[in-house]
C-alpha cells in the first residue's frame, strides 16, 4: 500500500479477470474451482479498492460471448454470482458500496436478475464506492444498443442528427455512468481488450499481468496502481507544453463530463 500515492488515484479501475480456468487446471481441479477462488479474489480486490478510496471498480464477470461456454460452466458461473449476491451483502452494506450492473441483464436467469435487482436497489444510496459488475456484457453490444436508441430518438424527432456528439452517445452507455476508465487491468497474461468497455477505455492506461485472477489480491492492485501512477497521461496533447498539467486536467475534466 505504501507504493500508492493516495492523492493521485485512478477514479475508475476496470478489470478483465482472466485465468480462473488455468489456475484450476494447474491444480488438477475442475474449471469451476477456479471461478470459486476467483470470487475470493473479487472480495479481496473490492476491499482493497474501497480502503484506498477508489470511487469506481468495474469487473468483467461474464461476457456476452461467455454464454457459448459449456452449459455446466455457464450454470456454475450464474450460481456463483447468485451466491455472492447473498454472501457479500453485508460487506457492501458495511462499507457503503453501491452495487450496479451493466450488460444485457435480461439474458440472465430470472432468479439471478431478482437477486441483482434486490441488492442494487438496497445499496443504491451508498457513496463509498461503486462496484459495477459487467454481466452478459459486450462493448460492441453496448454500442449497438446506444446506436439503436439514438436512431429511435431521431425517428421520433427528439434529436437532430447534427446534434449527435460524444456526449449524446456517452449518455446512452450505461458503462459511462461511473465515468471513463482510468486504469484497465487484465490478468492471465493475454494482452487484449476482449470487447470490454470500448468507449470508456479510449484513454485508459492498460496494465497487463501474468498473474492468474485467483491469485490477484490487494498487493497486486497496489502494484497496478503504482504502474499507473508512473505513466504520463497526455490525452492526445504534447508532453512539454508550458501548461501541460493544466491542459491535461482540462482534458480529463472534459472526458469526465462526457
Ligand atoms: C475468465 O477466466 C473468467 C471468467 C469468465 C469469469 C469471471 C468470474 C469470476 C471471477 C467469479 C465470480 C465473480 C463474481 C463477480 C461473483 P477463464 O475461465 O477464461 O480462465 P482461462 O483463460 O484460464 O480459461
Distance 251 CA to ligand 1 centre (A): 34
Ligand 1 atom closest to Cα of 214? 10
- Cell numbers linked to 116: 441483482
Give pLDDT, residue 254: 56
Distance 35 CA to ligand 1 centre (A): 5
Contact between 251 and 237 under an 8 Å Cβ cutoff? The reply is yes
> Mean pLDDT, the chain, as a whole number?
94
133 lines ligand 1 (CB under 6 A): yes
Listed by start position, the domains of the chain span: 6-233
69 lines ligand 1 (CB under 6 A): no
User: Per-residue confidence at 244, pLDDT binned at 50, 70, 90?
Assistant: low
**Residues contacting 254, CB < 8 A, separation 6+:** none
Contact between 199 and 143 under an 8 Å Cβ cutoff? The reply is yes
Distance 40 CA to ligand 1 centre (A): 12
Give pLDDT, residue 248: 55
Separation of CA 218 from chain center:
17
81 lines ligand 1 (CB under 6 A): yes
Give pLDDT, residue 180: 98
* Residue from 16, 32, 34, 35 whose mutation best tests the ligand 1 pocket (most atoms within 8 A of CB): 35
Residue, of 161 and 243, whose pLDDT is higher: 161
**Residues contacting 19, CB < 8 A, separation 6+:** 34, 187, 188, 189, 211, 212, 213, 214, 215
Handedness of CA 116, 118, 121, 123 (dihedral sign): negative
Give pLDDT, residue 158: 97
Name the pairing type of β-strands 56-63 and 97-102: unpaired
| Whole-angstrom distance, CA of residue 231 vs CA of residue 207 | 11
Mean pLDDT of 127-141: 98
Catalytic site residues? 18, 66
pLDDT above 90 covers a percentage of the chain that reads 88
Angle between helices 110-122 and 71-87 (to 10 degrees): 30
Homologous superfamily of 6-233: Decaprenyl diphosphate synthase-like (3.40.1180.10)
Give the model confidence (pLDDT) of 197-217 as tens digits: 999 999 999 999 999 999 999
Distance 91 CA to ligand 1 centre (A): 21
| Whole-angstrom distance, CA of residue 22 vs CA of residue 75 | 19
Give pLDDT, residue 237: 83
Ligand 1 atom closest to Cα of 60? 7
Mean pLDDT of 88-105: 98
Amino acid at each position: 500500500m505504501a507504493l500508492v500515492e493516495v492523492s493521485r488515484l485512478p477514479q475508475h479501475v476496470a478489470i478483465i479477470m482472466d485465468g480462473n480456468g488455468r489456475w484450476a487446471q494447474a491444480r488438477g481441479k475442475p474449471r469451476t474451482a477456479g471461478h470459486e477462488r476467483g470470487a475470493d479474489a473479487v472480495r479481496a480486490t473490492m476491499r482493497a479498492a474501497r480502503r484506498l478510496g477508489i470511487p469506481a471498480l468495474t469487473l468483467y464477470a461474464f461476457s456476452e460471448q461467455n454464454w457459448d461456454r459449456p452449459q455446466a460452466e455457464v450454470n456454475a458461473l450464474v450460481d456463483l454470482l447468485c451466491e455472492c449476491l447473498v454472501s457479500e451483502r453485508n460487506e457492501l452494506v458495511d462499507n457503503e458500496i453501491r452495487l450496479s450492473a451493466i450488460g444485457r441483464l435480461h439474458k440472465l436467469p430470472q432468479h439471478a436478475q431478482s437477486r441483482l435487482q434486490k441488492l442494487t436497489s438496497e445499496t443504491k444510496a451508498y457513496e463509498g464506492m461503486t462496484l459495477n459488475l459487467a454481466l452478459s456484457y459486450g462493448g460492441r453490444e453496448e454500442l449497438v444498443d446506444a446506436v439503436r436508441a439514438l436512431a429511435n430518438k431521431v425517428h421520433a424527432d427528439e434529436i437532430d442528427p447534427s446534434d449527435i456528439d460524444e456526449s449524446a452517445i456517452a449518455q446512452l452507455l450505461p458503462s459511462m455512468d461511473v465515468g471513463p476508465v482510468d486504469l484497465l487491468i487484465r490478468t492471465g497474461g493475454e494482452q487484449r481488450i476482449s470487447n470490454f468497455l470500448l468507449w470508456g477505455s479510449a484513454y485508459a492506461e492498460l496494465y497487463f499481468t501474468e498473474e492468474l485472477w485467483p491469485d490477484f489480491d490487494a498487493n497486486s492492485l497496489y502494484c497496478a496502481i503504482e504502474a499507473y501512477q508512473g505513466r504520463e497521461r497526455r490525452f492526445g496533447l504534447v508532453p512539454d507544453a508550458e501548461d501541460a498539467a493544466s491542459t491535461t486536467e482540462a482534458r480529463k475534466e472534459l472526458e469526465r463530463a462526457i
